[in-house]
Chains A and B, each alone.
Chain A
Amino acid sequence: MADLRLHGLTKRFGAVTAVDDLDLTVPAGSFFALLGASGCGKTTTLRMIAGLDQPTAGRVLLGDDDITGLRPYRRPVNTVFQSYALFPHLDVEENVAFGLRRRRQRDVEAQVEAMLALVQLGGYGKRRPAQLSGGQQQRVALARALINKPRVLLLDEPLGALDLTLRRRMQIELKRIQTEVGITFVHVTHDQEEAMTMADTVAVMHAGRLEQTGPPAELYDLPATPFVATFLGQSNLLAGDAAGRTGDDIAVSAYGARFTVPAARSRATGETIFLGVRPEKLHLATAGDDVPPAHQHVTGVVTDSSYVGVSSHYLVRTGWGTELAVFAPNTGAERQVPLGAEVCAHWHPRHAFLLNRPPGEGDRTAPADANLGVPA
């Protein structure tokens, strides 16, 4: 097994730079997710690994082999395409056998049968792709790529066309299959929950560049950039300025108030910073409630509340007009906070984080539609 490494990978289409000087290492045997909004360059990156697009600059390495210039059919890499791209003129068996037959392998039938069993499509061998449901076609596409035992399996939004329930099931299925076969999976997706559910390592891409790479929990807990903080889950980002360091804490001044954040939780390198807190890390205290001693707070008025079952989502308008998102779990012990209530939103400093803020930029908070904010 060998790591997949990208060195300074760049792709320009005319004046547009789709992928910009990307450096990335995918450890052998890992389930790696490339996460980003559409147009961020993640699919182009995948196509360069597959050999379907040639990079403008940079290299693709598989272990010690430079595969940058290899034609797609000479690479030990297979792809599960977004649209599946199953051959309509071949039945399921021949679709799955396609790669083996091109390489003149032995006992194709037995391998195909075993692979169809792995993706739970035993008995579907003689059907045509058009006679299968979306989820079944997806499994055929997976089997067709996996049967070649590639050193890296590339998955281009393979679950994008499936409905929500099926998507959840296939996520678990894919994860099971990956563990079973032990092949490196590189999974491109725009669905942050999908990336977090499945991947050992998530790389967040934005505008052709890599924003942050790491295990999902790390990315969520301590995002490195404002983009990651708002794309992977939601964040309340308050515009502030770093005001010196006392011991292990960094002092922050924002809107006339002072806060502190542990230095270990700072990704900021300058003085112009965002103070970030995840909505579920904020707690609401109404008149008469005590704010725990170690906590820091801002005051405001509840302007919106929605009950979404596992939690209640509130918007709290601060004195300077920003609306903070607050998710309160419905454990049964809380009471609902009424609209218009004067509240105090408080948090423990160890749940806050500091990020660099582009000069002149104001607060970034969760979108007004709080229903989008299902905590990941």
Chain B
Amino acid sequence: MTGSRSRPAYLLLLPAGLWLILFFVVPAVQLFGTSLYDPAGSLTEGYRMTWAFGNYPAALAAYWPQLLRSLGYAAAATVACLVLGLPLAYAIAVKAGRWRNVLLIAVVAPFFTSFLVRTLAWQTILSDSGLLVGLLRDVHLLGPDGRLLATPFAVVAGLTYNFLPFMVLPLYASLERLDGRLLEASADLYAGPAATFRRVTLPLAAPGIVAGTLLTFIPAAGDYINARLLGTPGTAMIGNVVDSAFLIRLDYPQAAALSFVLMAAVLLLVVAYLRRAGAAALDRVA
């Protein structure tokens, strides 16, 4: 009986499944193969498959600072997104009333221009001759020669800006479902606004927080546009290294190995995070 009942479900999976196999699994396998090619080969002379697992330690040894920096920047941007996004999502979900849709559109509006153009705009905002830097120098938050552009701050700020909607939307979705009567019950049971937020709102928003942090952290860790446009070689992320290995140095085995190192690092962190936070969050909504 179950077989006949679940057959339509498998049929529904088919189109997306085929797409993923064709454009994700097959290239990923191919990329993994590339990462094991003989590093002595080149694009012009051709590569030989030598199962060169040594590519991995070699890549790590050469580029571990960029890898750590990527994870650090991504974590910082994720935290910044959470700090900015949680009050924003709460305001939209709970307090905005008839402005709710307008504000939601405002959150999504940046997607109407390209990622690249938005990041280029931040170059102008953060530039040495820009308004912001001038203002910060005037109030002595920046020294007379202090800069924003080409600093780690600029890269993290750009990442934060670009991935903020990915944090806000899941947070909004979980806060929007929050039952106002639970907040009243909490107030009735001697919890002030801060205690209510900590003990009721936050735990009930946990699924949104988990989803939002993953949707922010994972793409931010692999991003290279922000580091390229807002940073310097000293702030290069692993994405920039992969980019140059593939397109400039043409060292395909190393580029592929670094891609997998990044994937594995992110996967490990995500699994560890989900085991801590995700299980609790899923348990809470059940």
- Verify A89–B190 contact, CB threshold 8 A: no
A83 beta carbon closer than 8 Å to chain B: yes
User: Please, what's the 1-or-0 string for A98-123, where 1 marks a CB less than 8 Å from any CB in chain B?
Assistant: 11001100000000000000000000
Shortest beta-carbon distance, B201 to chain A, in Å?
Answer: 11
B102 beta carbon closer than 8 Å to chain A: no
A76 to B, closest residue via Cβ: B190
- Verify A102–B182 contact, CB threshold 8 A: no
A-B contact count (CB 8 A): 65
CA distance A102 to B203 in the complex (A): 16
Q: Known: A87-B200, A88-B284, A102-B195. Is A72-B182 also a contact (CB below 8 A)?
A: no
A148 beta carbon closer than 8 Å to chain B: yes
Chain A neighbourhood of B206, CB < 8 A: 89
From A50, A81, A89, A144, contact of B284 by CB (8 A): A89
- Verify A79–B190 contact, CB threshold 8 A: no
- Verify B188–A50 contact, CB threshold 8 A: yes
- Verify B181–A79 contact, CB threshold 8 A: no
B283 to A, closest residue via Cβ: A89
Shortest beta-carbon distance, B67 to chain A, in Å?
Answer: 36
- Verify A72–B188 contact, CB threshold 8 A: yes
Interface core residue of B188, B195, B203 (most chain A CB under 10 Å): B188
B62 beta carbon closer than 8 Å to chain A: no
Shortest beta-carbon distance, B207 to chain A, in Å?
Answer: 10
B190 to A, closest residue via Cβ: A102
B145 beta carbon closer than 8 Å to chain A: no
Q: Known: A52-B184, A85-B182, A89-B204. Is A144-B286 also a contact (CB below 8 A)?
A: no
Chain B neighbourhood of A78, CB < 8 A: 188-189
- Verify B190–A103 contact, CB threshold 8 A: yes
- Verify A83–B191 contact, CB threshold 8 A: no
CA distance A51 to B286 in the complex (A): 31
Shortest beta-carbon distance, B118 to chain A, in Å?
Answer: 37
Number of A residues, CB within 8 Å of B: 25
Chain B neighbourhood of A51, CB < 8 A: 187-188
Shortest beta-carbon distance, B265 to chain A, in Å?
Answer: 31
- Verify B181–A148 contact, CB threshold 8 A: no
CA distance A85 to B185 in the complex (A): 6
Chain A neighbourhood of B187, CB < 8 A: 51-52, 71-73
Q: Known: A87-B200, A88-B284, A89-B284. Is A73-B192 also a contact (CB below 8 A)?
A: yes
Q: Known: A87-B200, A88-B204, A130-B286. Is A148-B190 also a contact (CB below 8 A)?
A: yes
- Verify B189–A83 contact, CB threshold 8 A: no
- Verify A98–B186 contact, CB threshold 8 A: yes
CA distance A78 to B185 in the complex (A): 9
Shortest beta-carbon distance, A93 to chain B, in Å?
Answer: 14
B280 to A, closest residue via Cβ: A89
CA distance A236 to B179 in the complex (A): 45
Interface core residue of A77, A86, A88 (most chain B CB under 10 Å): A88
CA distance A145 to B285 in the complex (A): 23
Chain B neighbourhood of A148, CB < 8 A: 189-190
Shortest beta-carbon distance, B182 to chain A, in Å?
Answer: 5
- Verify B179–A85 contact, CB threshold 8 A: yes
Chain B neighbourhood of A79, CB < 8 A: 185, 188
CA distance A87 to B184 in the complex (A): 11
CA distance A99 to B184 in the complex (A): 13
CA distance A205 to B134 in the complex (A): 67
Quick one: which of A56-101 are within 8 Å of B by CB?
A: 71-73, 77-79, 81, 83, 85-89, 98-99
- Verify A73–B190 contact, CB threshold 8 A: yes
Chain B neighbourhood of A83, CB < 8 A: 181
Chain B neighbourhood of A87, CB < 8 A: 182, 185-186, 200
CA distance A16 to B228 in the complex (A): 61
Chain A neighbourhood of B199, CB < 8 A: 98, 102
CA distance A145 to B185 in the complex (A): 9
B189 to A, closest residue via Cβ: A99
Chain B neighbourhood of A103, CB < 8 A: 190
From B179, B189, B204, B285, contact of A98 by CB (8 A): B189
- Verify A85–B184 contact, CB threshold 8 A: yes
From A50, A99, A128, contact of B190 by CB (8 A): A99
Shortest beta-carbon distance, A343 to chain B, in Å?
Answer: 53
Interface core residue of B185, B192, B206 (most chain A CB under 10 Å): B185
Quick one: which of B186-238 are within 8 Å of A by CB?
A: 186-192, 195, 199-200, 203-204, 206
- Verify B286–A102 contact, CB threshold 8 A: no
Q: Known: A88-B284, A89-B284. Is A102-B204 also a contact (CB below 8 A)?
A: no
CA distance A108 to B32 in the complex (A): 57
Shortest beta-carbon distance, B188 to chain A, in Å?
Answer: 5
Shortest beta-carbon distance, A292 to chain B, in Å?
Answer: 56
Shortest beta-carbon distance, A62 to chain B, in Å?
Answer: 15
CA distance A128 to B285 in the complex (A): 11
- Verify B191–A102 contact, CB threshold 8 A: yes
Q: Please list 22 pairs of residues, one from A and one from B, whose beta carbons are closer than 8 Å in the complex, sorted by A's number.
A: A52-B188, A71-B187, A71-B192, A73-B187, A73-B189, A73-B191, A73-B192, A81-B181, A81-B185, A86-B185, A87-B182, A88-B284, A89-B203, A99-B189, A102-B189, A102-B190, A103-B190, A128-B286, A145-B188, A145-B189, A148-B189, A148-B190
Which 10 A-B residue pairs are closest in the complex by CB-CB distance?
Answer: A85-B185, A99-B189, A89-B284, A102-B190, A72-B187, A85-B181, A89-B203, A73-B190, A79-B188, A102-B191
**New A-B pairs, 12, CB < 8 Å, besides A73-B192, A87-B200:** A71-B192, A73-B189, A73-B190, A78-B188, A81-B181, A81-B185, A87-B186, A89-B200, A89-B204, A98-B199, A103-B190, A145-B189
